[in-house]
Structure 1
Amino acid sequence: MSHVFDSAQALLAAEGIDLGHTEWLTIDQPRIDLFAEATGDHQWIHVDPERAAQGPFGACIAHGYLTLSLVNLFLPQLLTIDNLAMGVNYGSDRVRFPAPVRVGARVRGRGQILRAEQLADNVQLVVRVSVEIEGESRPGCVIDTISRYTFNPVTE
Structure 2
Amino acid sequence: MSKVIIKSFEELEKLIGQELGISEYHEFTQAQINLFADATLDHQWIHVDEAKAKSESPFGNTIAHGYLTLSILPHLWEQIVEVQNLKLQVNYGIEKFKFNQPVLVNSRVRLKAKVINAVNLRGVTKANIGVTLEIEGNKKPAYEGEIVFLYHFI
**Smaller-chain TM-score bracket:** over 0.9
Alignment-derived partner of residue 153 in structure 2 = 151
Alignment-derived partner of residue 4 in structure 2 = 3
1:118-148 superposed Cα distances (whole Å, 9 cap, x missing partner): 1110111000111110000111122311111
Shift of 1:116: 1.0
Between the aligned partners of 1:143 and 1:76, the Cα distance in structure 2 is 17
Amino acid at match of 1:4: I
Contact preservation (8 Å) 1:110, 1:129: yes
How many aligned positions are there?
152
Q: Equivalent residues in 2 for 1:44-55 (5 A)? A: 44-54=45-55, 55=57
Gapped runs of 5+ residues in structure 2?
Answer: none
Contact preservation (8 Å) 1:26, 1:107: yes
Contact preservation (8 Å) 1:12, 1:123: no
Structure 1 stretches (4+) deviating beyond 2 angstroms? none
- TM-score calculated relative to the size of structure 2: 0.95
Q: Equivalent residues in 2 for 1:20-31 (5 A)? A: 20-31=21-32
1:97 aligns with 2:107: no
1:81 aligns with 2:83: yes
Between the aligned partners of 1:105 and 1:92, the Cα distance in structure 2 is 24
Alignment-derived partner of residue 114 in structure 1 = 116
- TM-score calculated relative to the size of structure 1: 0.93
Amino acid at match of 1:50: A
